[in-house]
Amino acid sequence: MRDLFGAELRWFQHIEETARRVFGHHGYGEIRTPILEELDVFKRSVGESSDIVNKEMYEFTDKGGRQVVMRPENTAGIVRAAIQHKLLASSDPVLFWCIGPQFRYERMQTGRYRQFWQVDAESLGVATPESEAESLLMLHSFLTELGLKSLVFSINSVGTPESRPAFHAAFRAFFAERADRFCEDCHRRIESNPLRVLDCKNEKCQAALEGHPVITDHLDEASARHHARLKVLLKELGIPFEENPRLVRGLDYYTRTAFEVLSSDLGAQSALLGGGRYDGLVKQLGGPDVPAFGWAIGLDRLAMVLQQIRGEAPYAPPALLIPLGDRAATEALKLARTLWAAGVALQLETRGGALKKAMASANRMGIQTVLILGDGELDNGTVTVKHMVTGEQESWPLEEVVARLADQ
């Protein structure tokens, strides 16, 4: 877990501002759910066979004897909220996005933290491949607006619970022939949820999977049509994609479409985010039988990548107002209040030290415009303005300061 500030936090803020704008254009409204949820919300949704539930959740018993968990992901919490507040009572789609911290006690690696931030977008109430294509188009717009260019959508269909037994039988037979090549976790997964074996990160297990049965060869007719239609739509929209028969994602609630977004900007760790369809989750958590589709992206890794490829986040540093002497300090407070009321970004120097020290601070902070107010300026009804990039200096009438700074 870590603290966020400075240049890194500015990337977080820029990502959030971009998400709010892009998602709002698509009709998604923001939701904020609690960090603490009942443990059962995640055991019932994420699945007891998943690594999140087995190894990674921060769970404890509170003072009231309730079993609670610090949320490891946000989809289940959003679904719980939609059910609790009866937001799914009509046939209208419910479109939500959210941003916030999640918590998992997982292996430490570059760009991963045990408190990490995610942006989620969830579409509840629509089952069509068109709704998925629209969500993926929104995601593509969001990422390209942030400056990521080398994007590929990796997609698969994991079918439905009703269509999976045939695949499970074929896969278990394949597994049995080479069982000694798989890790202990995979031996547990093959009994509880064979799809989890495909998601194992162990390199030996991945090698042992060579030639495994492909789940898209065992889809029911409706799921096959759904998958084919999604591919047509992505092609028509010009969204680059590839099929990946091993892609199942790390959660048990997915049905039909599962996807990840890959970016070469990440080097070896190419998966930037993922998501998919989870038609059974709402009913599983006690709500109506409502289809759903969504995805989540980690801000920590996204901010790291953007900082690497784009440098500093878009940022306009405030102007700095430096008063010289007690009389100027009083007038500077009045001027600063007027500027702030007009929406001008301004930092006020309040230490009362020498001009040289204040100018050195301005250089370190990357400030581009410095206003200097002393007795001479007050007598003349002016302020001295130094443009730090060019080194030029000029005098502005005090009554023009607000308009001139507002125009910059």
What the chain holds in terms of domains, given with CATH numbers, is 6-163+219-310 (3.30.930.10), 319-407 (3.40.50.800)
Top mean-pLDDT range of 46-50, 158-162, 169-173, 369-373: 369-373
Of 45, 26, 33, 124, nearest to 70 (Cα)?
Answer: 33
Name the average pLDDT for the chain: 90
Provide the residue type at 48 as one letter: E
Tell me the HSE value of 4 on the side-chain side, using a 13 A CA sphere: 16
- State the DSSP H helix or E strand holding residue 266, giving kind and residue range, or none if neither: none
Give the per-residue pLDDT at 57.
87
Give the per-residue pLDDT at 252.
65
Rounded distance between C-alpha atoms, residue 87 and residue 5, angstroms: 36
- Segment 298-318, tens digit of pLDDT: 999 899 889 988 888 888 889
Question: Does 100 score more than 80 pLDDT?
Answer: yes
In the numeric block, which tokens belong to residue 370?
């410095």
Higher-pLDDT residue of 285 and 269 is: 285
Give the per-residue pLDDT at 407.
78
- Segment 179-192, tens digit of pLDDT: 999 999 899 888 88
Arithmetic mean of pLDDT, 259-277: 81
Helix axes 129-146, 221-237, angle to 10 degrees: 40
Beta bridge partners of 320: 347, 370
- Confidence band (pLDDT; 50, 70, 90) for 354? confident
Q: What share of the chain has pLDDT > 90, as a percent?
A: 69
Give the per-residue pLDDT at 395.
96
Provide the residue type at 256 as one letter: R
Cβ-contact 44, 335 below 8 angstroms:
no
Give the per-residue pLDDT at 263.
86
Give the predicted TM-score (pTM) of the model.
0.85
- Confidence band (pLDDT; 50, 70, 90) for 264? confident
- Segment 200-218, tens digit of pLDDT: 888 999 999 999 888 889 8
In the numeric block, which tokens belong to residue 329?
């300090």
Which whole-number Å values give the CA distances from 295 to 100, 140, 147, 253, 277, in the listed order?
Answer: 14, 12, 19, 13, 9
Arithmetic mean of pLDDT, 221-249: 93
List all residues 6 or more positions away from 350 whose beta carbon is below 8 Å from its beta carbon: 329
Give the per-residue pLDDT at 311.
85
